[in-house]
Amino acid sequence: MSLYEIPITKLSGIGEKRAALFRKLGINTVGDMISYYPRAYDNWADVTPISSVVPGERCVVRARVSTPVNNVRISGGRMMAKLSVSDDSGYLNLVFFNNKYISTMLRYGEEYCFMGRVAYDNYGYQMVSPEFSKADTSEAITPVYNLTAGLTNRMLIKAAKDALSMLPEVVKEPLPYDILKRYDLCPLSYALINIHFPSDIAAMDKARRRLVFEELLTLNLGMRLMKNRSSEDTAIHMPVDHTPEFVSTLPFELTGAQKRAVADCVGDMRDKLSPMNRLIQGDVGSGKTAVCAAVCYNTVKNGYQAAFMAPTEILAQQHFETFSKMFSDTDIRLELLTGSMTASEKKKSRARIESGESDIVIGTHALLSESTVFHSLGCAITDEQHRFGVAQRARLAAKGEHPHVLVLSATPIPRTLGLIIYGDLDITIIDELPPGRTEVETYFIGTDKRDRALGFIKKQVDEGRQCYIVCPLVEEGDSELESANDYAAELMLGPFRDYPVGILHGKMKAKDKEDVMARFAKNEISILVSTTVVEVGVDVRNATVMMIENAERFGLSTLHQLRGRVGRGRYKSYCILVSDNRGETTEQRLGVMCRTNNGFEIADMDLKLRGPGDFFGNRQHGLPQLAIADFSDTETLAQSQEAAEYLLKISPDLSDDAMRLLRAKITKLFSATENTMN
Ligand code: ADP
Ligand code: MG
């Protein structure tokens, strides 16, 4: 029986109530506990002499209890225990609250290690509620886990220990032996034990490298498997290029970059033996929708259906309207299919899709449902692809007989990372904006100037424009709902008393979100207070101000996406970044935003300043959530890529028996994303 099938309640001391807390952390089974890796480690061997402790910093001191424990009652009936400890270099005061056992646990004259943050007050240096252990303890490095209210690090340590004790004598090894050897990786059982309880730093490094390697390899293999499938297929042949007749109906001329993008796609669909598998990367506002329309037109005129999937209802609706205008003089039949339609509308729509009465189908996730059957899907397009899991994209393509696949992204990414994410996808970059765009003027201000900014927003609204205000990012543990609501309430009762204000946040039901967005699009709401959910590509051309609170907390690519919500129409637009942080990196980062509107430049800077790990911090790319790896370890990344190629050469579909466990890992990694996206 796999440890992933044994519920966490089988561990001693974990009853139903506590198990519910573990579940909050995603730990349902003993196996989950084992793969719940520490966030950091405390190193008890890294001792600081008391004379060198620094207030505000966490450290370990090794000291002797030099006074008896003094228990005092303080306000609210609470108990406080005070004592002093000393080493060769000085004294340190310790304070504990509400722990009546301190005097039995810490004995006068004995030596212990204490770990905690040092504070400095009138009485000298002190530590409040430090952790401690006997000075001669053998465990020098202890794990630090991410917690949730009600669970302590001690409880997780105990659970991890208990869980590891259930590992079988021989742990089955998912990595083939020659891979272990070639990359000098430790066996899985060693890695699992030492990632939680390393005997020393070297052991921890070894364990980590092995687990990171395995995870990246799994990711690599999964991505490649998905692609290999399509590269062996025979493409649907679309011999005729109908682009000229399509562009003649457009109210504008395509930019050079748009023309190249259309030509790339039409070329793929006409000439390639295997289906098109292409990514179009273009900054916000670069006109990707028109390119898609051209591709759809070509698909239909060559005798097939096209599907265009968007991540939200409002976006699908918008695309539908855009397409309706573009195709109004043609005989092309458009279809909209979204989750919010009534059951009978959906049924009718699906019937037309299945019979082939609809030519271009625009929709949301509803397109993926089993009951959506295409008559002859020739091309599957996914907009804002980072909003979808990789598996969801594949599922859209599976609605046809190897249709051509096109994905659109506004998030530029560096090449090394693109290799994994997009693998053998061909890439077209749209590096030109339609003419007549003015850059969004961007300012970086402190909170002392906020009132002026709000005044400016009022003025814009008085002139008929609309504004977005992105409220502060929620601190860990705070409720998103409360903080967004509190923030909006302040504005509604204060400066914007007489204006229609709407709220949008991630915890709202999809339907309510769509509602608010739709009302904003119709200008029934003037000021939209929102969390970053507003980031995805809606087009409200009347919106001219984007104000972002606590701007220093957002990644640059998120800031850029948010800013892309304004400056889409003919009105001069503004982005106001609010932050009191005047640190060097913040100045640099927000400075870039003020200096340029170019997404690629911004992404490059982001990477330079914060490293690739952060780039994927908020799962910008629809990849599965990784438990331990990030993309900053480029060496392991490269090795895992090489290993993936090697394994697929031996066994192209990994059907080889030696790869059974790896296969299971791939399934597990990718199935976890499927339902958590969006
Ligand atoms: P994105 O690449 O962010 O999806 P859109 O496709 O929404 O951008 O296009 C942004 C706006 O630019 C739309 O209002 C669209 O009508 C307009 N647009 C697109 N291409 C051109 C063009 N070649 N000339 C003028 N306007 C264009
Ligand atoms: Mg778009």
Is residue 452 exposed (0-12), middle (13-18) or buried (19+ Cβ within 10 Å)? exposed
Least confidently predicted of 255-269, 472-486, 498-512, 560-574:
472-486
At 411-465, the pLDDT tens digits run 766 655 676 767 667 889 898 888 877 789 999 999 999 999 999 999 999 999 9
Helix (H, G, I), strand (E, B) or coil at 216: helix
Entry field: residues in the chain:
678
The CA 393 to ligand 1 mean position distance, Å, reads 24
Give burial (CB, 10 Å; 0-12/13-18/19+) of 76.
Answer: exposed
CA distance 353 to 644: 39
Residue 280 has pLDDT above 60, yes or no: yes
Instruction: Report the pLDDT value the prediction gives residue 669, as an integer from 0 to 100.
Output: 82
* Domains in the chain with CATH codes: 1-44+151-166 (1.10.150.20), 46-138 (2.40.50.140), 243-430 (3.40.50.300), 441-616 (3.40.50.300)
Contacting residues for 518 by C-beta, under 8 A, at least 6 apart:
314, 317
Residues lining ligand 1, CB < 6 A?
Answer: 252-255, 258, 282, 284-290, 410, 434, 537, 539, 568
- For residue 372, report the distance from its CA to the centre of ligand 1, in Å: 30
Q: What is the separation of C-alpha 598 from the centre of its chain, rounded to a whole number of angstroms?
A: 22
> Ligand 1, residues 247, 252, 406: which to mutate, most atoms within 8 A of Cβ?
252
Spatial separation of the C-alpha atoms in residues 568 and 438, rounded to whole Å: 9
549 Cα to the center of ligand 1, angstroms: 28
Q: Indicate which ligand has the atom closest to the C-alpha of 247.
A: 1
Give, for ligand 1, the residue of 246, 286, 431 to mutate: max count of ligand atoms closer than 8 Å to Cβ: 286
The protein residue whose alpha carbon is closest to atom 12 in ligand 1 is 287
From the CA of 538, how far away is ligand 1's center (Å)? 12
Q: What pLDDT, on a 0 to 100 scale, did the predictor assign at position 599?
A: 82
Confidence tier at 615 by pLDDT (50, 70, 90): very low
CA of 290 to the centre of ligand 1 (A): 7
Question: Which atom from ligand 1 is nearest to the alpha carbon of 289?
Answer: 6
Residue with CA nearest ligand 1 atom 5: 287
Identify the pLDDT of residue 283.
Answer: 83
- State which H helix or E strand residue 273 sits in: none
Q: What is the pLDDT of residues 138-191, one digit of tens each?
A: 668 889 999 998 898 889 999 999 999 999 888 889 999 999 999 999 999 999
Q: How far apart are alpha carbons 447 and 548 in whole angstroms?
A: 11
| Order of all β-strands in the sheet with 377-382 | 334-337, 360-363, 305-309, 377-382, 404-409, 277-282, 426-430
pLDDT over 90 (residue 557):
no
Q: Please give the pLDDT value at position 417.
A: 66
DSSP string, 484-520: HHHHHHHHHHTTTTTS-EEEE-TTS-HHHHHHHHHHH
> How far, in Å, CA of 457 to CA of 526, rounded?
10
Average pLDDT value for residue range 356-379: 96
Using the mean position of ligand 2's atoms as its centre, give its distance from the Cα of residue 284 in Å.
7
Cα 454 to chain center, whole Å? 31
291 CA → ligand 1 middle, Å: 9
Residue 619's pLDDT band (cuts 50, 70, 90): very low
The number of the ligand nearest the C-alpha atom of 322 reads 1
Q: What's the pLDDT score for residue 384?
A: 78
Mutate to test the pocket of ligand 1, among 289, 308, 409, 431 (most ligand atoms within 8 A of CB): 289
Averaged pLDDT, 572-600:
90
DSSP 120-155: EETTEEEEES-EEEETT-S--EEEE----TT--HHH
Task: List, for residues 108-129, the tens digit of each pLDDT value.
Answer: 999 999 999 998 877 788 998 8
- pLDDT of 231: 64
What is the Cα–Cα distance from 520 to 321, expressed in whole angstroms?
Answer: 16
* Contact indicator for 427, 265 with CB cutoff of 8 Å: no
Question: Would you state the structure tokens that stand for residue 575, as one six-digit string?
Answer: 């982005």
Kindly give the number of the ligand 1 atom that is closest to the alpha carbon of 541.
14
Lowest mean pLDDT among 52-56, 159-163, 371-375, 391-395: 391-395
Q: Is the pLDDT of residue 208 over 80?
A: yes
